[in-house]
Structure 1
Amino acid sequence: MASEITVAVLALIGTLSGSALGIVASAKLTNWRLKSLEDEVREHNNFARRMPVVEEQIKGITHRLEDLEKA
């Protein structure tokens, strides 16, 4: 009778530790994915801030080319 209780307790400990390790691993993966997405969004936002500047530069270059073609 005591051996069955010992086996049951060991099985419980194994189950709980396995579940806890699974939860920790899942949380680490979720945090890594969130960080990756945050980095991508940050990069996209930086690109979106730079685009109007590039568009203005292209407009200026276009006007200069038109002036050179007229001359």
Structure 2
Amino acid sequence: MPTDIMVALIGLAGSGIGTFAGIVASSKLTNYRIGQLEKKVDKHNTVIERTFKLEEGQAVIQEQIKVVNHRIADLEERED
């Protein structure tokens, strides 16, 4: 086999291996970044859920305060 063909085949094999290694490395990095992003999204979602629960609780407390204020006003009117 001529030397030129052997050199070409070795170059082709080297390019193929380099390309494959680059694809694997890029894939690992992409998967890592997606995993980190999923963690951030989960953390964000839990904050949203907790905020929603706090807002619901605050609405209940505000309604209770309104009722208490109304009862106080009724009691004050009875005293007069």
User: What amino acid is aligned across from residue 20 of structure 2 in structure 1?
Assistant: A
Distance 1:9 1:43 in 2: 51
d(CA) in 1 for partners of 2:32, 2:49:
26
Structure 1: which amino acid aligns with 2:30?
T
The aligned amino acid for 1:40 is K
Identity of aligned residues (%): 41
In the alignment, which residue of structure 1 is the partner of 2:23? Answer: 23
Aligned to 2:10: 10
2: CA distance, partners of 1:48 / 1:23: 37
Q: Could you say which residue in structure 2 is the equivalent of 1:34?
A: 34
Structure 1 outlier segments of 4+, above 6 Å: none
Q: C-alpha separation between the residues in 2 aligned to 1:52 and 1:4?
A: 71
Which runs of 5 or more residues in structure 2 are unaligned? 70-80
Output the TM-score relative to the length of structure 1: 0.73
Matched positions, count: 64
Q: Within the alignment, does 1:44 sit opposite 2:37 as a pair?
A: no
Q: Could you report, residue by residue, the CA deviation over 1:35-64 in whole angstroms, capped at 9, with x for unpaired residues?
A: 11110000000111111333426x74xx5x
Q: Matches of 1:9 and 1:52 in 2, distance apart?
A: 64
